[in-house]
Amino acid sequence: MTDSLLSVRDLSVTFRLPEGEVTAVDRLGFDVAPGEVLGIVGESGSGKSQILFSLMGLLAPNGRASGQALFAGQDLLAMTDTELDRVRGVSMAMIFQDPMTSLNPYKRVGDQLAEGLVVHKGLSWRAARAEAVRMLDRVRIPDAASRARRYPHEFSGGMRQRVMIAMALLVNPRLLLADEPTTALDVTIQSQIIDILAELARDMGTSIVFVTHDLGVVARLCDRVIVLYGGRIMEEAPADILFNAPRHPYAKGLLDTTPRIAAPLTRRLDIIPGTPRSGGAMLPGCPFAPRCASRIAACEAVQPPLIGIGPAHRTACHLIGEAP
């Protein structure tokens, strides 16, 4: 994709543990276009969050990222911490998973938002606080001026997540990384947060990489979807194609386990047998093979290549065959 804002190639993330090296992400490649919302889905432990942490330079001390991640032509993985600080919180921002612990309990909410504008944009505290109130109002926090003077413990979980979104978007980033920002919220608040993100992405032209395990969220928000398993891409497709015509057995399994309104009340939900792959050394073959009912001998011996099977549609499965 020649006009990509973010272009990731051969991204691998490994961790050093007492028992050896663990691979969390294995040679991933994907692109994000300006203004696009890319969803990354998969079960817990599939490596979704580690992709975002590696791009932000926030891996644990025993973690290491390799490959290339070009953001606006600059390789994030090759930057020093000082160089990354010129990008993080300025043109690239992140919403973390847990809004209950992501805010400083000792600082007023408005001051926490304003601080980024003072540090990165050089605004005065008065101007920065005014901008913070404006953004709190934009993410639909009522009585924003009064709320800005309150502390995090005075906000509900949904309101705290709106504060986190406001904080991330306050500097008008070109790229927003969202790590399961709706997981801890009830469905009503979750729906409101999704609407806010979609609206802000549309109005501000911000690209979003949205990590989640909730396919319902993906269907509402994302333009394109990557299905991740065992640190590898199983399938990548436009959202409408993935939901209507998934090709990889794992993608099909995820969709089959999703409750459907039209299904009979007596119908049991499908399950994917077995347990998600735990971290460790990468084995030959498809990581999903031990749980796949359709596997053949090649699945356990040879890693399937990620091949194109249609416009912007790729999958890694021996059952698909070669692309025409």
Q: Which of 251-260, 267-276, 301-310 has the highest mean pLDDT?
A: 301-310
Band of residue 324 on the pLDDT scale cut at 50, 70, 90:
very low
Lowest mean pLDDT among 60-64, 245-249, 263-267: 263-267
- Selected residue with higher pLDDT from 120 and 151: 151
* pLDDT over 60 (residue 281): no
Please check whether residue 36 is in contact with residue 226, taking contact to mean a CB–CB distance below 8 angstroms. no
Mean pLDDT of 144-169: 90
Q: Which domains does the chain have, with CATH numbers?
A: 6-91+172-315 (3.40.50.300), 105-170 (no CATH)
First-to-final CA distance of the chain:
20
pLDDT of 261 strictly over 50:
yes
- Amino acid 134: pLDDT: 92
Determine the pLDDT at residue 3. 80
Own/partner contacts of 144-152, CB < 8 Å, gap of 24 or more, are 147/109, 147/110, 148/108, 148/109, 148/110, 148/113, 149/108, 149/109, 149/110, 150/108, 150/109, 151/105, 151/106, 151/107, 151/108, 151/109, 152/103, 152/104, 152/105, 152/109
Residue 19 has pLDDT above 50, yes or no: yes
Task: For CA atoms 284, 313, 309, 241, give the dihedral sign.
Answer: positive
Percentage of the chain with pLDDT > 70?
A: 94
Average pLDDT over residues 280-296: 84
Quickly state the pLDDT bin for 20 (edges 50, 70, 90): confident
pLDDT tens, position by position, 91-144: 999 988 776 778 899 999 999 999 988 988 889 999 999 999 999 998 889 999
Whole-Å CA distances, 252 to 116, 209, 227, 293, 316: 42, 22, 10, 12, 13
Which of 32-41, 55-64, 236-245, 270-279 comes out lowest in average pLDDT?
270-279
Tens of pLDDT, residues 196-244: 888 877 888 889 999 998 888 898 899 999 999 999 999 999 999 999 9
CA 238 to chain centre: 16
For the segment 264-289, the average pLDDT, to the nearest whole number, is 77
Percent of the chain with pLDDT over 90: 55
Q: What is the pLDDT of residue 280?
A: 55
Q: What is residue 128's predicted lDDT score, i.e. its pLDDT?
A: 93
> Average pLDDT over the chain, rounded to whole?
88
Residue 126: what are its φ and ψ, rounded to 5°?
Answer: -60, -50
| Residue 278: predicted pLDDT | 63
